[in-house]
């Protein structure tokens, strides 16, 4: 495995609709492993292939809803492990009626965060790393991360959707994709 360089604006690949993945070969598996390592090293909670200068419909996401509850940790309680998702050629097939505002950042737009309205819950149809179909129902911050990463695959950045964008204070911690 190897760390990949995360590209930033104004890199053109970030604005292009990525191509569907058609070959599930050794090169794809290496790319997936490299993206997971790069995401963890950044550190981020998601990474889309265009962010490592590859125009393909692939994203990796790793997050645990417990990360929101750090203040509420119970002594002796075992935190939920982070869940790792690999989504290829993803498509949002169902969305909740409820939308929520949240603050997002992006590894490809360092130094800025923004308020973005997203669906509270979504259902995603995709392929896993071996080309097998999967259907995922996610909500909360996990749903936000999925929507953010799928936007990357369509050339859309969080700043395109933000109600407002700003430079964060040093104490503002935001999950980054």
The CATH number covering residue 91 comes to 3.90.45.10
What is the rounded average pLDDT of the residues 113-128? 98
- Is 34 inside a domain boundary? yes
Domain housing 100: 12-166
Spot the catalytic one: 56, 62, 104, 149: 149
Task: Please state the pTM of the whole predicted model.
Answer: 0.90
Q: Which two tokens stand for residue 51?
A: 């962010």
- Is 44 inside a domain boundary? yes
- In angstroms, the CA 43 to CA 147 distance is 19
- Is 62 inside a domain boundary? yes
- Is 42 inside a domain boundary? yes
pLDDT at 112 over 70: yes
Per the annotation, the verdict on 149 as an active-site residue is: yes
Total number of domains constituting the chain: 1
pLDDT at 145 over 50: yes
Cβ contact 50:156 at 8 Å: no
- Is 4 inside a domain boundary? no
- In angstroms, the CA 34 to CA 149 distance is 17
* Closest of 73, 62, 161 to residue 109, by C-alpha: 161
- Is 129 inside a domain boundary? yes
């Amino acid at each position: 495995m190897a760390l990949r360089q995360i590209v930033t604006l104004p890199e053109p690949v970030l604005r292009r609709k990525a191509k569907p993945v058609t070959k599930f070969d050794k090169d794809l598996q290496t790319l997936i492993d490299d993206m997971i390592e790069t995401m963890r090293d950044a550190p981020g909670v998601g990474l889309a292939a265009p962010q490592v200068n590859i125009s393909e419909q692939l994203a990796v996401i790793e997050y645990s809803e417990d990360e929101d509850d750090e203040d509420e940790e119970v002594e002796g309680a075992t935190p939920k492990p982070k869940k790792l998702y690999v989504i290829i050629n993803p498509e949002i097939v169902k969305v909740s009626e409820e939308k929520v505002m949240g603050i997002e950042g992006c590894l490809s737009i360092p130094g800025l965060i923004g308020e973005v309205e997203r669906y509270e819950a979504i259902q995603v149809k995709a392929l896993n790393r071996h080309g097998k179909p999967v259907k995922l129902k996610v909500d909360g911050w996990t749903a936000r991360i999925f929507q953010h990463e799928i936007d990357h695959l369509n050339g859309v950045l969080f700043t395109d959707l933000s109600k407002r964008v700003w430079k964060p204070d040093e104490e503002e911690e935001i999950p980054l994709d």
